[in-house]
Amino acid sequence: MQIYLDSTEDTEQFGAELFKTLPAKNLIFLQGDLGAGKTTLVRGFLRAAGYQGIVKSPTYTLVEEYSVEGRKIFHFDLYRLVDPEELEWLGIRDYFDQDSICFIEWPDKGMGFLPKADRVITLVTQGIGRRLTVEHNA
């Protein structure tokens, strides 16, 4: 599936629609350059889940954890990861063993230590908007 999103609001709305369709356990890889809208999409997802706090990129913390309506949502940003083995020290497998939604930005930085994603969402800046592609893995 491929769609064009005209604005930041459209990107958040896509995240909100995604909330309605994902099962309680899902691994989503988010791909795209800096500023492509990855965190904006996650913000839309969290708003639809009922989260009202600040949603920021976990660039420096590597992971932000949210608990909304009994659901666990983890947002990872691996941009600053130096070695994929660091994910073992972080206890990455423990996150995936839970019934949780895990969004991972910059998944290529963790290859070899990450399981196969259920969905891969790619955002590419195009004009004033962005092109979004979703791949489902069986």
First to last CA, the chain: 15
What are the tokens at 52? 């009202």
Q: What's the pLDDT at 137?
A: 82
Q: Among 3.40.50.2020, 3.30.830.10, 3.40.50.300, 3.40.50.720, name the CATH number for the domain at 31-126.
A: 3.40.50.300
In three state form, how does the secondary structure of 57-110 look?
CCCCCCEEEEEECCEEEEEEECCCCCCCCHHHHHCHHHHHHCCEEEEEECHHHH
Token output for 2: 């491929």
DSSP for 15-61 reads HHHHHHH--SSEEEEEE--TTSSHHHHHHHHHHHHT--S-----TTT
Beta bridge partners of 105: 30, 77
What is the structure's pLDDT at 89? 86
pTM of the model: 0.92
pLDDT digits (tens, 9 = 90+) for 45-69: 999 999 999 898 888 788 999 999 8
Q: Quote the mean pLDDT of the chain.
A: 92
Supply the pLDDT for residue 47: 96
Confidence (pLDDT) at 19 = 94
Residue 138's pLDDT is 59
What is the domain partition of the chain in residue ranges? 31-126
- Residue 114 in 3-state DSSP? coil
Percent of the chain with pLDDT over 90: 66
| 27-44: pLDDT as tens digits | 999 999 988 899 999 999
**pLDDT (tens digit, 9 = 90+) per residue, 126-135?**
888 899 999 9
Give the pLDDT of residue 133. Answer: 94
User: How many C-beta atoms lie closer than 10 Å to residue 136's C-beta?
Assistant: 9
pLDDT in the model for residue 69: 85
